[in-house]
Structure 1
Amino acid sequence: MKIEDYELLIKLNEIGTIRGTAKAVLISQPAVTQRLKYIEEYLGVKIFIRTSKNLVLTPSGEMILEHAKKVLEQERALKNNLTESSEEVQGTLSIACSSLVSQRFLPAILGEFTQSFPKVTIDLVTGISEDIKNHHKDYHVCIIRGSKLKESTCIRLFEDPLYIYDTEPFPRNNVKERPLISFKSDDSMHELVDNWLYHHQDAILPQKTIRVDQIETCKQFMKQGIGMAVLPKSVSDSMMDEYPHIPLTLDGSPVTRDTWVCFQEGIRKLPQVDEFINVLTQQDFL
């Protein structure tokens, strides 16, 4: 079996459907089905049972998945050891990055990095910080927002102040009642906003909450006058001269979101990882 076969089995187990896996790995559903059929015929056992909702591992499948994880772990360890022994900066750099950071800052950072180290292959995954934390050991470097990772080395990259925006002014002496537009984020972001609203309900009272998937959608809804939106400075600084806004503060201190780069102890022995962290920590984000 090929390494790609083991990777496919792990992805099938994570996602739980042929269709979702095909979309994630960018190949057709029939190709995924055919590859799974070949693997099961090669090993002589059924790995998954198809139910109406998802794929379920058989007892044999559980054994095979454990073996697949060990194979991939050994493969990564071998590549890391080979890269570490090389004097030239090369190899694969795996990064898991918060969607906000990947959209706002990472393109320029990776542009600078790949220009300096063209032989490094970038393996990038983006998403919500909470999801990244759950799988942080799968990556060389994690760039997350909110609280830092436990049992990891973490360097704070920047503090990101939060502001609440609207197309309508924020009155000083009256309660502002408007819909609140919320974008998909991790729990820590929602807790910050909810806590701030609780302490300012005498001034701002959301009529209802409108939930959208992306922060950019949230911004556009706010600009169309649909409601208020709490946005970090990193993605809204260009809007400050155009739209009414107030900073989120509690007890006179700004409410902020920390952004961290986190990694496992010893991983900086890999030259490509060490150089990327150096580039990252030298950036002026805000």
Structure 2
Amino acid sequence: MELQQMRYVVAVAETSNFTRAAEQCLVVQSALSHQIARLERELGAKLFERTSRRVRLTPAGEAFLPAARQALDAAERARAEVAAAAGEIRGSLTIGAIPTVTAVDLPAALKQFHLRHRQVRISLRSGASEDLIERVRQGTMDVAFLGLPLDVRPKGVRGRELARGELVAVVSPGHPLADMEDVDLHRLADEPFVDFPAGSAGRVQSDEAFAAAGVRREVAFEVSAPDFMARLIRQGLGIGMLPARFVSNLPDLPTVRVRDAPARIEHLIWSRFQPSPAAAAFLSELGISATPADG
């Protein structure tokens, strides 16, 4: 069993197509197909079901895929560790971030890291905090920037609190609230809301604040991206609540301070196991030493 064969299996599983997988792996399709067939003979099981319309994993393939990915990750990690021992940081760095991260200028931090470590392949994934925590916990993501309610701490990972801040109300130009200096949740509850999906960390902090105030509100529009949220608010379809430091990115939308505002904490998290050389270097760029004392 060879690592290249595992790479081919992973590529076919991800593309569901032998031709696209071969293009991705920079080989001719016949060579890729031959190596996968050779691996299947060695394993004594078919990894893929092939029809004229689709390619999909067999139960044996489903069982093989996670182990193949782990083997490839381990091989890359081994090469990165050897390079680090010689003073060179290389390998891959997968970063996750909520769309409203403000504690760190992430694009600037990534640029600086790239200039220092050009041999590292950087990838960035945006998502909800709870999903990012799980990916870091499972080892498919190196570090992640989160936003969580004050009483919630990420579990199964190591991390650092970066910043705390309150949310503000965001309204359309010309809205009756636009000229108010501040407002409370009882007044906001009369308005239709644009908010993040129910159950997400970005939504929970607002839901808990309204519940604590003893009022109910209507969330008419559930969206995952703050830029889409802003577009709906501009049309006067509802109001939103976003971190005060984030709304500077929306200069055309009026904001109103909320006296009993929801609040959140931004966290940076990483694996509870020894981080890769690239992940350790990135944390170092942010002034964080990835030692057990920081967990």
TM-score by length of 2: 0.70
Report the CA distance shift for 1:153/1:244 in structure 2 as closer, same or farther (over 3 A): closer
Aligned equivalent of 2:269: 262
Q: Which of residues 217, 222, 236 is equivalent to 2:233?
A: 222
Deviations 1:165-217 (A, max 9, x none): 22323477967522211235862222211122223455x743x5112341101
Find the aligned partners of 1:174 and 1:161 in 2 and give their Cα distance. 18
Aligned equivalent of 1:92: 91
* Aligned positions of 1:73-92 closer than 5 A: 73-88=73-88, 90-92=89-91
Find the aligned partners of 1:175 and 1:84 in 2 and give their Cα distance. 54
* Aligned positions of 1:55-134 closer than 5 A: 57-88=57-88, 90-100=89-99, 105-134=105-134
Report the CA distance shift for 1:151/1:120 in structure 2 as closer, same or farther (over 3 A): same
Question: Quick one: which amino acid aligns to residue 259 of structure 1?
Answer: E
Question: Quick one: which amino acid aligns to residue 181 of structure 1?
Answer: V
Give the CA RMSD over aligned residues. Answer: 3.8
Give the C-alpha shift of residue 245 in structure 1.
1.7
Q: Percent identity?
A: 17
Report the CA distance shift for 1:157/1:225 in structure 2 as closer, same or farther (over 3 A): same
Find the aligned partners of 2:154 and 2:187 in 1 and give their Cα distance. 41
Aligned equivalent of 2:207: 194
Q: List alignment gaps of at least 5 residues for structure 1.
A: 13-17
Q: Which of residues 154, 157, 160 is equivalent to 2:159?
A: 154
Give the C-alpha shift of residue 36 in structure 1.
8.4
Report the CA distance shift for 1:185/1:161 in structure 2 as closer, same or farther (over 3 A): farther
Q: Which of residues 261, 286, 289 is equivalent to 1:280?
A: 286
Q: Which of residues 227, 245, 261 is equivalent to 1:234?
A: 245
Give the conservation status (yes or no) of the 8 Å contact 1:148–1:262.
no
Give the conservation status (yes or no) of the 8 Å contact 1:140–1:273.
yes
Find the aligned partners of 1:175 and 1:101 in 2 and give their Cα distance. 22
Give the C-alpha shift of residue 151 in structure 1.
3.1
Aligned equivalent of 1:139: 141
Give the C-alpha shift of residue 236 in structure 1.
0.6
**1:150 match: secondary structure:** coil
Report the CA distance shift for 1:57/1:46 in structure 2 as closer, same or farther (over 3 A): same
Report the CA distance shift for 1:120/1:175 in structure 2 as closer, same or farther (over 3 A): closer
- Aligned pair count? 259
**1:217 match: secondary structure:** helix
Give the conservation status (yes or no) of the 8 Å contact 2:48–2:55.
yes
**2:125 match: secondary structure:** strand
Give the C-alpha shift of residue 255 in structure 1.
2.7
Find the aligned partners of 1:205 and 1:66 in 2 and give their Cα distance. 43
Find the aligned partners of 1:61 and 1:210 in 2 and give their Cα distance. 40
Aligned equivalent of 2:37: 41
Q: Which moved more, 1:208-217 or 1:60-69?
A: 60-69
Find the aligned partners of 2:134 and 2:256 in 1 and give their Cα distance. 34
Give the C-alpha shift of residue 78 in structure 1.
1.2
Give the conservation status (yes or no) of the 8 Å contact 1:130–1:186.
no
Find the aligned partners of 2:30 and 2:220 in 1 and give their Cα distance. 45
